[in-house]
Amino acid sequence: MLAKNNRIRTRFEFDKVRKFGRQYKSRFFYMYAVRVQELNGVWDIGEETRVGFIVSNKFDKSAVVRNKVKRRFRECLRANFAQVSRGWWIVFHPRKLSLEAEYAEICADIAKVLQELPVSR
């Protein structure tokens, strides 16, 4: 699990990332990412990299299924978190196809998309 200061928790934060961030598309998810520097002019929000997940009822009615998808994404991200440089807010929005995907496929996809970020380590 990510540390508390590395999680996006409020609706305000999710909305800012989706509004001002760039969208990256993958086979299993959409990812929105925005540099904190772009938001710091208006809000004082620190420099930590923060991550959130959006898995709504539209994805699946069963909470068990939604939570399973979030757990898989969290674990893949935890393994690849060192790739991301400081100062990013990232939101993952899984697609339905991720339900049938193998864990390794999702992890490979996340690693590939994180490398597309402009300033990755």
Please report which helix (H) or strand (E) contains residue 108, including its range. Answer: helix 103-115
Question: Which structure tokens are listed for 67?
Answer: 């939570």
To the nearest 10°, the Cα dihedral for 24, 10, 16, 112?
A: -20
Q: How confident is the model at residue 113 (pLDDT cuts 50, 70, 90)?
A: very high
- Residue whose token pair is 């399973």: 68
Q: What is the pLDDT of residues 45-55, one digit of tens each?
A: 667 889 999 99
Spans of all domains in the chain = 4-113
Whole-number percent of the chain with pLDDT over 90: 69
Angle formed at CA 58 by CA 92 and CA 61, multiple of 5 degrees:
110
Name the class of domain 4-113: alpha beta
CA pair distance 19, 111, nearest whole angstrom: 24
Q: What is the pLDDT of residues 41-97, one digit of tens each?
A: 655 566 788 999 999 999 999 999 999 999 999 999 999 888 888 889 999 999 999
Q: How confident is the model at residue 120 (pLDDT cuts 50, 70, 90)?
A: very low
